[in-house]
């Protein structure tokens, strides 16, 4: 018998482009309403619950996780928090976060 914890970590990629920091989570079989995404300071928290089909069955092998999951990521760059975009499709949750750009600060007289 396979015993699994109810809290699990789905596989993910974190990558950077010239302008964005992107987190891509592989999490099929969910709806957009099943996710919660929070960004606080430089910490991204993605939580959710993947529902198992309520059907009696005897597993021979069980690798697909169900139940509550949580991902906490310390972001390596400053982010424009008001421009974060999250999209869920084809079994992937993709969170795109524009990196803060350096800005010139003028000295007043």
Domain ranges of the chain: 12-98
Provide the pLDDT for residue 78. 84
DSSP state of 91: T
For 12-28, what is the mean pLDDT?
95
Range name among 20-24, 32-36, 46-50, 59-63 with the lowest pLDDT average: 59-63
Q: What is the pTM of this model?
A: 0.82
Measured distance CA(28)–CA(39) in Å, rounded: 22
- Report yes or no: 85 and 35 within 8 Å, Cβ to Cβ: no
What's the CA gap between 47 and 107, in Å, rounded?
43
Length of the chain: 109
The domain 12-98: what is its CATH number? Answer: 2.60.40.790
Task: Assign residue 67 a region (left: φ > 0; alpha: ψ between -120 and 50; beta: otherwise).
Answer: left
């Amino acid at each position: 018998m396979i015993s699994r914890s109810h809290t699990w970590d789905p596989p993910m990629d974190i990558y950077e482009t010239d302008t964005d920091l992107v987190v891509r989570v592989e999490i099929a079989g969910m709806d957009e309403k099943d996710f919660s995404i929070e960004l606080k300071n430089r910490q991204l928290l993605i939580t959710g619950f993947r529902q198992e089909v309520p059907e009696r069955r005897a597993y021979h092998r069980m690798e697909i996780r169900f139940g509550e999951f949580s991902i906490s990521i310390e972001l390596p760059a400053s982010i424009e928090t008001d421009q974060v975009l999250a999209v869920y499709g084809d079994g992937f949750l993709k969170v795109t976060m524009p990196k803060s750009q350096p800005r010139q600060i003028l000295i007043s007289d």
